[in-house]
Amino acid sequence: MSTQPTTEANDIDLTTTLHKPYYHVHFFVCVNRRNNSRSCAGGGSEHLQEYAKKRAKELERPELGRVRINKSGCLGRCEHGPIAVVYPDGVWYRYRSKEDLNEILLEHIVHGRTVHRLVVRDTEDME
């Protein structure tokens, strides 16, 4: 009798699946609406999130892996809004237009370069 664990045909090999994420990039767009114009939705984020989702589909490439454009509730940085954050990089962006979002998608998601002019820095929350 063998003391080695047996592997069933439908068992998952966790050593390989844990290192291959289903989505390679998560792009969270705050669509929270508050009773004032300082909310992200008050700045047009709902419409712009739909644009980002459509544009990301147009930019899909097998070598990029899967990209997910998600609506998000409040991300807690309303004063900079509309706001979005890209994971796994943890880069926070402010944007105002389709052109800003297009630049983020092309530069950050496709080419892996941070769009510095749109980055919200941690130190901005401390001022």
Strands of 25-30's sheet in order across: 67-72, 25-30, 83-87, 91-94
Quote the CATH superfamily of domain 22-126. Answer: Glutaredoxin (3.40.30.10)
pLDDT confidence of residue 51: 95
Show Cβ contacts of residue 84 under 8 Å, excluding neighbours closer than 6 positions: 27, 28, 29, 30, 52, 92, 93, 95, 101, 104
Whole-model pTM: value is 0.78
The domain ranges of the chain are 22-126
- What is the full per-residue pLDDT of the chain (127 aa) written as tens digits? 545 555 555 565 555 556 677 889 999 999 998 886 678 998 899 999 999 999 999 998 888 888 999 999 999 888 887 999 999 999 999 999 999 999 999 999 999 999 999 999 886 654 4
**Which H, E and C letters describe 19-88, residue by residue?**
CCCCCCEEEEEECCCCCCCCCCHHHCHHHHHHHHHHHHHHCCCHHHCCEEEEEECCCCCHHHCCEEEEEC
